[in-house]
Structure 1
């Protein structure tokens, strides 16, 4: 109960708000009060587990309605509940499961977008709501390129930059120059909250790609605030080989006090991110190329830094070109349009070091809620760190050893 009788009751203790709720004639075919079990504790969790449900919401006695994140309301998941049920329980609060989220409606929620797993559009929405708190800080203020699969991953897909023709009034868009494209500029979506993610999910925009720079005042481009190293496995190699190259790259940059943060691409490769601050928009691309070429020189049998596809067989291509201002990279926590609903998932270095099989670093949307509960946002340092000043050209080539 939030409002009743013309007054705001959110500040009242939960017990009083519950009593006001129970005074209303809600029981019937269309609405009813959610059951409440005060102080039920372990007995309630046992009953939930027996029914195969993901968990319960626990509310602190005497607490008011929460206005934001806090400890007065907590979701308590039970052991043995399926991860998919847990994801749905955590992500699809309120009416999100069937109708959408906030101002973002959801059409055809039962439409299957991943036939191999039966994953529906409602499941896709559930994923993006489940990861929104971690994901949004990494994509807000960045123009998003959407990759859409209207008929599911077995159908045709297309990239979409200009969303003006179907974007709702409440969605932020930014007109950004697109030199070399079909037009001089496009109106990009800027996904700044969970509603924006829900809007994209309704379009079957499974993949969300963003640049390494943010929008500034009047939608101008700010200098890049991160460097990305995209590790792309050539024929005959896997993400296991990418993990080995990632460790070499980490050790190389450690010599300059430059920390990098690893993530899967959601496909066969990996990305490593470095928070930076630069004034020259081209500096990050030049720096990334220098690092890639140094690695290729030191590990000629395993690493390549040139784009010629025919030369990549048996090697890992360190793609430095993703740092060009016109390029984008798959966003952290984005789904991928592959046979299964895999996710571009931030990693710990221990996971990278321990990778022995490709399956060790494959995560689907069912895995993300538990990972976020355990690790939080492993990419958070990209936001919390002021950014590192890059060494001047040539310095990387002088790292001892």
Structure 2
């Protein structure tokens, strides 16, 4: 295999990394390169890493770019550095050793492998104990992020009435995610609460909300996907890149941005825009004072 003329060796917190194919175009429609992806993750690392800490990561990898082959990577790959933090996780398929993105060096190592999207579960060490609730708002045919904002505001009212604080973000695609930090809670209890919340929204706004996955029911409505709270499922981490024609970001938001949204384009952010934000809309989300109880 010919040598990569763009390869560079760098050291991050005492960890030596070889970064390769830096000029590779990962998003052909915009010309966005691997170097740009690495730069973005380096810039947002202080905001991103706390949301990855202690959680087994699932990487959606695009080694040759978003228009080429993609695949999920959960197991620690062959040749991975010995200094990676890992976690043994029991899946239906059996035991699996997964990477925990614990520091900047690990984040850049993963991005260098083409791991554009970073996904994590709603638990840290124990799948039976969740420390957050996630509501995924997915627009069906004929609706957009604007309707997702309306549903998010309705969901917020119900959550506040139950003593819970929700933090919104874009999915990085067409929808929204609401995250509720929790004190460690049995997984079944979290899942049951999310399912009932979705049902309450559907009963009060049947023309706007659907809580079942069948595609025939989703036209003109927002699907409130409560199933993301299953211990086996993962969600794109806040600040994760997303694959699409253009590089997207699962972007944390202020509630005022949802209330003011009138066009879906208002909630689409480039990596450069996210990295240049002067304030973190999710400041305080991980503080114990904001943890809720079901």
Q: State how 1:228-267 maps to structure 2 within 5 Å.
A: 228-267=134-173
**Could you tell me how far 1:101 is from its partner in structure 2?**
5.0
**Does 2:109 correspond to 1:210?**
no
Q: State how 1:302-313 maps to structure 2 within 5 Å.
A: 302-313=208-219
Q: State how 1:178-327 maps to structure 2 within 5 Å.
A: 178-179=91-92, 183-215=93-125, 220-221=126-127, 223-327=129-233
Q: 1:283 to 1:193 in 2, by over 3 A?
A: same
Q: State how 1:64-213 maps to structure 2 within 5 Å.
A: 98-100=8-10, 102=12, 103-179=16-92, 183-213=93-123
Q: 2:283 and 2:130 mapped to 1: Cα distance?
A: 17
**Could you tell me how far 1:166 is from its partner in structure 2?**
3.3
Q: Is residue 224–residue 284 contact of structure 1 (8 Å, CA) maintained in 2?
A: yes
Larger radius of gyration: 1
Partner of 2:130: helix, strand, or coil? coil
**Could you tell me how far 1:98 is from its partner in structure 2?**
5.0
**Does 2:288 correspond to 1:378?**
no
Q: 2:246 and 2:181 mapped to 1: Cα distance?
A: 31
Matched residue, 2:3: none
Please list every run of at least 4 consecutive aligned residues from structure 1 whose deviation after the TM superposition is greater than 3 angstroms: 97-101, 382-386
Q: Is residue 127–residue 187 contact of structure 2 (8 Å, CA) maintained in 1?
A: no
Q: 1:328 to 1:293 in 2, by over 3 A?
A: same
Q: Which has the higher contact order (CA 8 A, sep 6+)?
A: 2
Matched residue, 1:337: 243
Q: 1:228 and 1:159 mapped to 2: Cα distance?
A: 21
Q: Is residue 89–residue 98 contact of structure 2 (8 Å, CA) maintained in 1?
A: yes
Q: Is residue 131–residue 185 contact of structure 2 (8 Å, CA) maintained in 1?
A: no
Q: 1:312 to 1:379 in 2, by over 3 A?
A: farther
Give the stretch that moved more between structures: 238-247 or 165-174. 165-174
**Could you tell me how far 1:355 is from its partner in structure 2?**
0.7
Q: 1:268 to 1:155 in 2, by over 3 A?
A: same
Partner of 1:381: helix, strand, or coil? coil
Q: 1:384 to 1:105 in 2, by over 3 A?
A: farther
Matched residue, 1:38: none
Q: 1:358 to 1:101 in 2, by over 3 A?
A: farther
Q: Is residue 148–residue 207 contact of structure 1 (8 Å, CA) maintained in 2?
A: yes
**Could you tell me how far 1:387 is from its partner in structure 2?**
1.7
Q: Deviations over 1:289-324 (max 9, x none)?
A: 010000000000010011112211111000000001
**Could you tell me how far 1:257 is from its partner in structure 2?**
2.5
The Cα RMSD (Å) is 1.6
Q: State how 1:3-82 maps to structure 2 within 5 Å.
A: none
Q: Is residue 123–residue 231 contact of structure 2 (8 Å, CA) maintained in 1?
A: yes
Q: Is residue 147–residue 157 contact of structure 1 (8 Å, CA) maintained in 2?
A: yes
Partner of 2:129: helix, strand, or coil? coil
Give the stretch that moved more between structures: 328-337 or 162-171. 162-171
**Could you tell me how far 1:380 is from its partner in structure 2?**
3.4
Q: Is residue 212–residue 227 contact of structure 1 (8 Å, CA) maintained in 2?
A: yes
| Structure with greater strand share of residues | 2
Q: Deviations over 1:188-233 (max 9, x none)?
A: 1100111111011101100000000001xxxx44611110000011
**Could you tell me how far 1:282 is from its partner in structure 2?**
1.1
Partner of 1:366: helix, strand, or coil? helix
